[in-house]
Amino acid sequence: MEYAILNGELIERKDAKVDIEDRGYQFGDGVYEVIRVYNGKMFTAEEHLNRLSESCEKIGLNPGFTKEELKTKLEQLIGKNKIGFGTVYLQYSRGISPRNHAFPGSEVPAAFVAYTREAARPEENMKSGIKAILTEDIRWLRCDIKSLNLLGNLLAKQKAAQSGCFEAIQHRGHTVTEGSSSNIFIVSGDKLVTHPADHFILNGISRQKVLEISHENDIPFEEKAFTIDELLGADEIFISSTTAEVMPVIGIDGSPVKNGKPGELTQKLQGLFLEKIEKECGSIQTGALNS
């Protein structure tokens, strides 16, 4: 039997149905997280739950549960569903109330939902690298909030998919911001560069891990906006996200990135990222079907 969490209750997945007046459904009025599970354990759960409470705070949503309560509930869910390798999705919406743009009163509790999905590590793409397109960033100005409103991201991702690409690298004018569901890093010489964590991007947990790893390993890095020209002239490019970890980008808009192969520093960071995962979640067999 598969389980999900609806309003804090662990119930059968097939019974987890949402009311048509849920504000998440009608307005995208809510926030979410995706946490990776390795060996049945959540990776960087603390960081994700901290970002979830920050997102709640930024939109004035009062979460019904503490971070500790949420963590326990998610652990129960993962255990019940016997997830070895996969993800747990969790979201808060601003509850169920008659449709009205203004927020409902405090008597309407936020609605919490979570479910799991089995998924192997994307080893093939991590090894060979992926292709991307460039597209104008048409999203709003609070991309730091992990909001349920993802239409701008979806349009970008669909454009990439239609071009046979894995990711869309977004830019505002000449400035590269982030992927449709990932952060973007370039390597220029021996230095890593990524957009600063301001309102134009989501401060990815994987992004923060990459920066932590770089700091610990004396890899020079800078959080600085870079241009499309700098992107196209970069020695290496990679994306980071919960599901992609550190994934090389080997082509953009049909042209190869350098020699069209994953870069050396990118591969080194992949190894160091895996070490972080193993430290928290136990050893992982690579090259095997991780599911």
Rounded to an integer, what distance in angstroms lies between the CA atom of residue 60 and that of residue 64? 13
Nearer to ligand PDD, 4 or 205 (CB): 205
| 195 close to 137: Cβ distance less than 8 angstroms | no
User: Helix-strand-coil percent breakdown of the chain, rounded to 5?
Assistant: 30, 30, 40
Site mask for ligand PDD (CB under 6 A), range 137-176, x = bound: ----------------x-----------------------
| 144 close to 198: Cβ distance less than 8 angstroms | yes
Annotated active-site residue 41? The verdict is no
- Closest by CA to 112, choosing from 62, 146, 48, is 62
Could you tell me the smallest distance in angstroms from the CB atom of residue 69 to ligand PDD? 21
State whether residue 59 is helix, strand or coil: coil
Find the binder of ligand PDD among 55, 81, 183, 214 (CB under 6 A). Answer: 183
**73, 131, 146, 276: which one is catalytic?**
146
Tally helices (H) and strands (E) across the chain.
8, 16
Rounded to an integer, what distance in angstroms lies between the CA atom of residue 128 and that of residue 271? 15
Site mask for ligand PDD (CB under 6 A), range 186-215, x = bound: ----------------x-xxxx--------
Q: Would you say the C-alpha torsion 250, 253, 254, 258 has a positive or negative sign?
A: negative
| 269 close to 217: Cβ distance less than 8 angstroms | no
Could you tell me the smallest distance in angstroms from the CB atom of residue 174 to ligand PDD? 20
Query: Within 6-45, which residues bind ligand PDD (CB under 6 A)?
Result: 34
Could you tell me the smallest distance in angstroms from the CB atom of residue 107 to ligand PDD? 31
Nearer to ligand PDD, 11 or 138 (CB): 138
| 150 close to 122: Cβ distance less than 8 angstroms | no
Question: Under the criterion CB under 6 A, does residue 91 sit at the interface with ligand PDD?
Answer: no
Judged by CB under 6 A, which stretch of 13-21, 115-123, 180-188, 228-236 contacts ligand PDD? 180-188
Nearer to ligand PDD, 7 or 243 (CB): 243
Residues lying near ligand PDD in the complex (CB under 6 A): 34, 153, 178, 181-183, 202, 204-207, 240-243
- Which positions are annotated as active-site residues? 146
